[in-house]
Structure 1
Amino acid sequence: MNRLVRAVLGLFAAPRVNMREDYEKVRRLQRQLAALPGPRVPFRETTVDDGTHPIPVRVFNPIERSRDDVLLFFHGGGWVTGNIESYTPACATMAELTGCVVVSVDYCLAPEHPFPAGLEDCLHIARLLLDEPGRVGVDDPSRIVLVGDSAGGNLAAVVSQQLHAEGHATPGRQILLYPVTHWDHDPRTSPFASVRDHGKDYRLTTHEVQDYLEMYVPDPQARKDPRIAPLMADDFSGQPDTLLITAELDLLCDEGEAYGRALEEAGNTVSLHRVDGALHGFITLPRFSRSLRQAYEVINAFLDEDAPTNSADTPDSAHTPDPGGTP
């Protein structure tokens, strides 16, 4: 990359904030930005009670539904920021550009609710929809596709691993967008060159990732747990067909691709795609963004492939998307 391009991209570097002190300000700013006028698609809000607390869910219906798949989406934000409100523009775009119903989960955030609270919320919704796919208008659980970006990609990967470990039915496919898969983002000790090459100049910094991890998992020794760092798992078998998309100028690029290779080596079907010139978080950019358009070309091609057969028994069900109601 030449110096001019690097300088221009440097203008998009993450603000130098202390996330441990300023995460509430970041949350407020995200909500304000999400409220700006922009393309909208119909959505409906509901809640799912897991026996301890209600989990808000927002269901986006594309104006023209062209695919039967339902995308179960876990948002990014370092397990600390982001919610269904701030990700509404991105989910509206996802519904429109894929022609799929999108179900966005408002899982608990750290530091108020550290690990494993957010993960348990995501697991609960995934189990529910896989057991009762009629809640979201499909009769085949293999039509449920896990999708997540950044920390949400981490949660999607961990949910798939946990479901397999439990012997539970797994989704037919998963789409992991620049996921967090490792626990070490210190440029002095990380095994990944992208941490050293892109950890201080652009959209996401090593300091920011470290702040997020410290709030999500206060105990440093616990961060090597595969439920936090899925690349540390002993068993990568039995995972859904996977599309793993990384961003070239993202410090998480190498660890995301390493996770894809680990899945592939374990016998899973994996498609890896790196978006050239892209920064972390590009799935939230406006529709005219080149990075966003390229990613959705790849996502749609992946969704157009034949859905894998899920061996789980599938109950008869109605076709009105309603994760909070009765099938």
Structure 2
Amino acid sequence: MEPTAAPSSPRSAAVNPLFRAVLGLFAAPRLNLREDYPKVRRVQQVLAAVRGPRYRTAYREAMASTEHGDIPVRVFQPRRKRRDDVLLFFHGGGWVTGDIESYTPACATMAELTGCVVASVDYRLAPEHRFPAGLQDCFDVTRRLLQDPQRAGVQDAGQIVLVGDSAGGNLAATVSLMLRERGLPVAGRQILLYPVTHWDHDPQTSPFASVRHHGEDYRLTNSEVQDYFELYVPEPQDRRNPLVAPLMATDLSGQPASLVITAELDLLCDEGEEYGRALRAAGNEVRVHRVDGALHGFIALPRFSRSLREAYEVINDFLDEVPA
């Protein structure tokens, strides 16, 4: 399914120069991730070590045993459990960086703000473990829990909700595709936060306006996404595989009820929304919500962030209104 060119958002196009300059203060340092990804990981480990102790009472360690080996899972308990759902979370980081340590604050916040148990999967990372290794880990854990939901502490597989941000949103979407393709039960719902759904992020050739408008200024750049793809899927022709770029799937039927949340000032905004439209066109129940003024990666912001609060209002409405 090759997407058509997406129109520019009038609001995005109207970002004034002063606001753009202020947002530039939040830009990530420009890196050659093909060479610098070990440095990024080390910085994440240092930050996690500094922040980690305050969250230790919120989680316990677990291990998912699969046919491909044992996969670490960190389970977060909310202080006040308000729902029986378990959110099975796949972290972002371009399939190359990020882990359960660096995402511990975000997962603890997710548990508190949803009142759900959150299970964060520590899947293998590229380039040491290229596609489909990380995807296989996420698939194996999901399949195991869907086949035996009591392992997740729920009675029904429909109470397991797949959640992922950025590359993790990509993994959640592609796990759902794999389950359907193999004739296995899919999760009841999935929440895709600013997901990667397409393979082309070159501003000269991408069909999406957000790639051209927001690929150089803010938290994530075109070149960084391309670097991540080169590390995750080295052969360019393989990046069109629907299990890498789910927008390329020719059949999106039979997918979970889906919530797609995008960030207005994110180069991935248009492709995430296009995936939501494609899921809806295939007969699935879909909600798409764009957080205005938000940058890529906002799920990791402090709780007082407007973008974070808005996203969780939408997530909680989705969990309440869409039956398992």
Aligned to 1:44: 60
Cα offsets for 1:226-256 (capped at 9, x unmatched)? 0000000010100000000000000000000
Structure-1 separation of matches of 2:207 and 2:295: 20
Partner of 1:9: 23
Q: Is residue 95–residue 126 contact of structure 2 (8 Å, CA) maintained in 1?
A: yes
Taking a change above 3 Å as real, the CA distance of residues 168 and 52 of structure 1, as seen in their structure-2 partners, is closer
1:272 aligns with 2:288: yes
Q: Which amino acid aligns with 2:197?
A: T
Q: Which amino acid aligns with 1:177?
A: L
Q: How does 1:78-227 map to 2 (within 5 A)?
A: 78-227=94-243
- 1:26-50 deviations in Å (ceiling 9; x for gaps): 0111122223347635211122232
Pick from 23, 43, 46 the counterpart of residue 37 of structure 2: 23
> What TM-score do the two structures reach when normalised by structure 1?
0.92
Select between 224-233 and 12-21 the one with higher mean Cα deviation.
12-21
TM-score normalised to structure 2 length: 0.93
The alignment covers a number of residue pairs equal to 308
Greater per-residue helix proportion? 2
Q: Distance in 2 between matches of 1:96 and 1:263?
A: 29
Higher relative contact order (CA 8 A, sep 6+): 1
Structure 1 residue runs without a partner (length 5+)? 309-327
Between the aligned partners of 1:240 and 1:52, the Cα distance in structure 2 is 25
CA distance in 2, matches of 1:222, 1:180: 15
Cα pair distance change 1:218/1:61, threshold 3 Å: same
- Report if the CA contact (8 A) 1:143-1:307 is conserved: no
How far apart in 2 are the matches of 1:89 and 1:56? 17
Matched, 1:231 2:247: yes
Instruction: Please tell me whether the aligned partners of residues 257 and 322 of structure 2 are also in contact (alpha carbons under 8 angstroms).
Output: no
SS at match of 2:50: coil
Cα distance between partner residues in 1 of 2:298 and 2:47: 15
Q: Distance in 2 between matches of 1:53 and 1:160?
A: 21
The letter for the 2-side match of 1:18 is N
Partner of 1:319: none
**Runs of 4+, deviation exceeding 6 Å:** none
Structure 2: gaps of 5 or more residues? 1-14
* Worse-matched range after superposition: 42-51 or 138-147: 42-51
Distance in 1 between the 2:156 and 2:64 partners? 21
